[in-house]
Amino acid sequence: MAELITESIAVRADAADEEPDDSQRRRGRSAFWRRLLTPKFVVGAVVVLLIVLFGLIGPLITQDPNAIDNIGLSSPSGAHPLGTTSVGQDVLAQLAHSTRGSLTVGVLVAAFTLGLSAFFGIIGAYIGGITDEGFSLLSNVMLVIPGLPLVIVIASYVESQSVLLVIVVLALTGWAAGARVLRAQTLSLRNREYVLASRVAGERTWRVICVEILPNLLPVMSSGFVFGIVGAVLAEAGLSFIGIGATGSLTWGTMLADAQNGQALLFGAWWWFAPPGLLIAALGAALSLINFSIDEVINPKLRTTNIAKVERRTKREHQS
Amino acid sequence: MSILRKLAFYLVALFAALTLNFAIPRMLPSNPVDVLLGKLQAQGPVTPETRQALMLLFGTDTSVPIWQQYLDYLQSLATGNLGVSVTYFPTPVTEVIASALPWTLVLVGLTTLITFVIGMVIGTIAGWKRGTWVDSLIPSTTILASVPYFWLAMVLVYLLSVTAGIFPLGGGYDVRRTSPELSFEFLSSALYYAALPALTIVISSIGGWILGMRNMMVSTLSEDYVITARAKGLSPKRVMITYAARNAALPSIAGFAISLGFVVGGSVVMEQVFSYPGIGNAFLLAVQNNDYALMQGLFLVITISVLGANLLVDLLYQFIDPRTRARGV
């Protein structure tokens, strides 16, 4: 992520001298980054970066998140910047560890989900025939079977839920929608001339998929990955909240579940239940902003050029 | 032909759900029978027949071959026998479900429909007036959409129920004043208790509909037939509704079917926050009490209702969008 930001900032610096016009739009990579670099993207990226940094560095410098004290439910003070839980744990320390936990779950689930949907979506659509029929039937069935109840049923049959189990279950129940999108895209790509050309040239199947098709799917896949993170963080939080999340680990969801069980609402302990929710919302909103920017690059129809602004600018240029 | 194909697909999906329901307890390393017998023994003597029935239900009886178990399972489903609930012993699972289902169906079903309609209207207007101030409201809806539902509900409970005291803390109706019956008192109490849950559902899920509709409107507005309609000098209202919105709504209607699955899932969390006496609450109680029969029964009911709703929308879609009929997909 950090790399992305510095690169974008560099691009932004040289983009400032010249306004992009139609001829430059098609110049590939650098134009792609220039288009991507909207205020929306920068705000989103900065917020995500801050949350990631908090999850990385926070646990190193905060107190022990599990240390119990007899000053339960104390409001924010010097010793505890975000107050304490009902058993006197430091909320800030819990928040830092939870951020790390939730981000780990989010990224891993999104990666597994992407892998599964790429496998079922791309390979099925490329090979076609009975494989495609089978794969798309499977993903359509998975799509209509309600996910959360299925996750609950699976999780309840396992005695102790490890974080890994939660990750695997969320990935197994969440890949179908992505597979459908990738399948549709691959179907339209596989009959393009350059793909046909490389097939005629005798390239092996995996090479055609990896070199010719995959790069064209990257924008769609990256958007799917970003949504996957948000979805997984929310799903994990929901699972933990209803009491069947990973046991013995700290995530935003377990914090909120503890707050609910510890009657934080009745005692008005806003410092306990507000921060985890705000962080989830901030992460979700920031990732959506990034996704918007990616979407606007991929789909030119979504671009809203402010006509009044363009007119003013042309006028100004004429005058100078 | 295409309708037959659809029906066949939903049959396959139903079959897959039934099989999953059968396979999950058998694949996972736990012994629900012992847990259940322990619970049942606490409530009274257990006959060997009960033990046998439970072992059949969960597949721990190795003397019966697996395919025979599967056939027995399908047969007991076909006769509507879902077993006996442990949580509400000795009520049959079917009765527990029947008493919980109306609560969820009415509250979540109606609220989802209302949210969908409002979202589509706002999305249409935002897409029509893109680039203006209406459109700039759109990013705020994404923030709403990324707030975890249960957290939003908690905050609203804190603000509106705990602090302001406008709404009740939770539950389905005022248990001290009235009981479920067809009276004005009960219905008004139920409505009052449903208001806050409904509000939270609307707030948390409306953003997605607005955004989806807005984006489709923006795409549709650049189509040739919309430009033609404008060039003909039709009134803007007519272009917006009959030309653009009608076509732009199609993906959202398809999305509505898919969202029904999430609706039922979401109701589990909603009912946990508000202790609402519906399907989700029963589901969680079943999980907490290791009430496997009730849990499996509820999973089946949820799945079947989602499949049914999907099928209905799918069939409806054929009438709304003639292109799907022409292609015969």
Q: Whole-angstrom Cα distance, residue A109 to residue A106? A: 5
How many contacts (CB atoms, under 8 Å) link A and B?
Answer: 165
Chain B residues with CB-CB distance to A177 below 8 A: 258
Check: CB of residue A291 under 8 Å from CB of residue A277.
no
- Cross-chain CB nearest to A157 (options B28, B143, B283): B28
The pTM for the full model equals 0.77
- Quote the minimal CA–CA distance from A158 to chain B in Å: 7
Give the residue, B158 or A31, on which the prediction is more confident: B158
Q: Does residue B173 have a pLDDT over 70?
A: yes
What is the pLDDT averaged over residues A206-212? 85
Question: Which tens digit of pLDDT belongs to each residue from A280-312?
Answer: 988 988 888 888 777 777 666 555 554 445 555
Question: Which tens digit of pLDDT belongs to each residue from A14-56?
Answer: 333 344 444 444 455 566 677 667 788 888 899 999 999 998 8
What is the pLDDT averaged over residues B145-152? 81
Residue among A156, A181, A258 with most chain B CBs within 10 A, to mutate: A156
How many other C-beta atoms lie within 10 A of the C-beta of residue B92? Answer: 18
- Cross-chain CB nearest to A285 (options B142, B154, B307): B142
ipTM of the complex: 0.75
Q: Do the Cβ atoms of A144 and B284 come within 8 Å?
A: no
Check: CB of residue B147 under 8 Å from CB of residue B204.
yes
Q: Which of residues 93-122 of B touch A (CB under 8 A)?
A: none
Predicted pLDDT of residue A5 = 37
- Cross-chain CB nearest to B13 (options A144, A177, A289): A144
Question: Which tens digit of pLDDT belongs to each residue from B293-327?
Answer: 788 888 888 888 888 888 887 787 777 777 666 55
Give the residue, A104 or B141, on which the prediction is more confident: A104
- Collapsing DSSP to helix, strand or coil, A210 comes out as helix
CA dihedral B118, B120, B126, B127 (to 10 degrees): -170
Average pLDDT of every residue of chain B: 79
Q: Do the Cβ atoms of B219 and A302 come within 8 Å?
A: yes
The ranges assigned to domains in chain B are 99-289
Whether chain B has a CB inside 8 Å of the CB on A134: the answer is: no
Share of chain B above pLDDT 70, in %: 83
How many other C-beta atoms lie within 10 A of the C-beta of residue B182? Answer: 6
Share of chain A above pLDDT 70, in %: 79
CA nearest B216 in A: which residue? A302
Q: Which residues pair with A90 in a beta bridge?
A: A84
Predicted pLDDT of residue A20 = 43
Chain B residues with CB-CB distance to A140 below 8 A: 9, 13
Give the residue, A276 or B36, on which the prediction is more confident: A276
Tell me which CATH code domain B99-289 carries. 1.10.3720.10
Q: Does residue B84 have a pLDDT over 90?
A: no
- Quote the minimal CA–CA distance from A135 to chain B in Å: 13
Lowest mean pLDDT among A216-230, B68-82, B208-222: B68-82
Q: Which CATH class is domain A30-68+79-319?
A: mainly alpha
Predicted pLDDT of residue B121 = 92
B197 class by beta-carbon count within 10 Å (0-12 exposed, 13-18 middle, 19+ buried): buried
Whether chain B has a CB inside 8 Å of the CB on A47: the answer is: no
Q: Do the Cβ atoms of A301 and B222 come within 8 Å?
A: yes
Predicted pLDDT of residue A22 = 46
Check: CB of residue B309 under 8 Å from CB of residue B94.
no
Give the residue, B29 or B191, on which the prediction is more confident: B191
Whether chain A has a CB inside 8 Å of the CB on B145: the answer is: yes
